[in-house]
Structure 1
């Protein structure tokens, strides 16, 4: 069998347009690997960047990044040996107390994460956990809103990377805690939907320590000429499995020692 080659620039643009159209029309498309079987991880990151650049040109700004596939179980399911990442843009920022329309997404889900808010720009290549702790001004309770523009969440690694790591939005709770004032590996969190607990987890579900995920991200994006800058929000990965969000659902995530964050969906 001949060696697989990356897609041409023209085909990458075609894939990016298909994903952008799916997001705009809220009509999920077939898995990318079925329509474009030659697509690999390199292609997928380039396709993600094409759509990010399009949105930046339309006026959005970069607010941070997210890490996906940060648990061993998810990596094994995707047959990969490292996480992936996506961008957080200003048009993805949600505000607590402002309901979100579930109909604005294809198949929304929520994940509970310990958010890092950088006070200093992180080094890229060679970034360590000590660098992350030094540069992080605050940690905060957060919910990431994820969505797949791929039908029925039938995704593999190339599908999700190209689709901005399945990210669609994020919301931060009001509390802020210095990283030196909390054990970032042992934060217990519970997610309630309409008053009923539907998930729970601990922060060490994220690569054993969410700080490890942020350091990995800084090193990874450096290879694309990107830096994690002061003021950026970094979502290091979920502490539990993703939970489906439906019209009318009211979510509340409670973190021991870190506070709460709420996200409400309308019809």
Structure 2
């Protein structure tokens, strides 16, 4: 580990600890050094694990052309989901846990088998998936004003925050996730629309990409893990308390209820 990698981790950890966004870290590790960025991510993950958290899954970021365009990056990335990040549909989510939240609608995969194969295919993902549910990912950035490039977001756990899962599981049998339409509403008004095809052509393709990446890095997907497969449409900034509802064709709906009255857990 280089001093620059440790300095980048320290900068992001200070933002986490103080609740004050920091400057980008690409000046320390380089704008395009993906391996250095994942090394920073691993340091920050180790801190969370030492504090008693557990890794319960993974998230894929930057799978949508619209999101990559919003952030000025050109490739997907991944981060870890920790045991203190999950909320059920309709459960209050305290805004005080977040710095600069945005929301995006996704399809979450829950695995019943490990996928430990650096050459994993779509077939492997289909075979390993127990069920899918509608999800809202609450993305966040420790970098001030979301001034990020690929190295910044990778280092910052793929700009993860929290997530909300729907309660209705669906088998993949007979489902073509590319054809799933999505509408994300804020207080009943549509604020983002998209489809499964926006997520690397099909969310199953995105999960296969993730499976290969993490297996290659020695941390393969495990049975029981949740995988947030990526945005189906543009991200939406969250400015205040309120209700966001994602409706996914054939997969029901999921609701995130932001509150500003505390209740952090």
The TM-score normalised by the length of structure 1 is 0.92
Match of 2:81 among 69, 88, 99: 88
User: Would you say 1:58 and 2:51 are equivalent positions?
Assistant: yes
Structure 1 residue 9: Cα displacement: 2.7
Structure 1 equivalent of residue 9 of structure 2: 16
Structure 2 equivalent of residue 206 of structure 1: 199
What is the DSSP-based 3-state SS (H/G/I as helix, E as strand, rest coil) of the residue aligned with 1:179? coil
Q: Size of the alignment, in residue pairs?
A: 258
Structure 2 equivalent of residue 38 of structure 1: 30
CA RMSD of aligned residues (A): 1.5
Q: Name structure 1 gaps, 5 residues minimum.
A: 1-7
Structure 1 residue 47: Cα displacement: 0.2
What is the DSSP-based 3-state SS (H/G/I as helix, E as strand, rest coil) of the residue aligned with 2:116? coil
User: Would you say 1:138 and 2:131 are equivalent positions?
Assistant: yes
User: Would you say 1:235 and 2:235 are equivalent positions?
Assistant: no
The TM-score normalised by the length of structure 2 is 0.93
Take 2:73 and 2:242, find their aligned partners in 1: how far apart are those partners?
Answer: 33
Structure 2 equivalent of residue 49 of structure 1: 42
1:2-35 Cα shifts (integer Å, max 9, x gaps):
xxxxxx533312211211120222210111124x
Mapping of 1:1-267 within 5 angstroms?
Answer: 8-34=1-27, 36=28, 38=30, 40-75=33-68, 78-80=72-74, 82-267=75-260
1:132-177 Cα shifts (integer Å, max 9, x gaps):
0011010100000100111111110000000000011111101110
Take 1:63 and 1:79, find their aligned partners in 2: how far apart are those partners?
Answer: 27
Q: Which runs of 4+ in 1 moved over 4 A?
A: 73-77
Take 2:10 and 2:190, find their aligned partners in 1: how far apart are those partners?
Answer: 39
Check conservation: 2:29, 2:36, Cα contact below 8 A: no
What is the DSSP-based 3-state SS (H/G/I as helix, E as strand, rest coil) of the residue aligned with 1:159? helix
What is the DSSP-based 3-state SS (H/G/I as helix, E as strand, rest coil) of the residue aligned with 2:208? helix
Take 2:127 and 2:165, find their aligned partners in 1: how far apart are those partners?
Answer: 21
Structure 2 equivalent of residue 4 of structure 1: none
1:168-202 Cα shifts (integer Å, max 9, x gaps):
11111011100013211100111110111111110
* Greater mean alpha carbon deviation, residues 98-107 or residues 226-235: 98-107
Take 1:98 and 1:130, find their aligned partners in 2: how far apart are those partners?
Answer: 34
Q: Name structure 2 gaps, 5 residues minimum.
A: 261-265
Take 1:222 and 1:64, find their aligned partners in 2: how far apart are those partners?
Answer: 14
Check conservation: 1:63, 1:89, Cα contact below 8 A: yes
Check conservation: 1:102, 1:245, Cα contact below 8 A: no
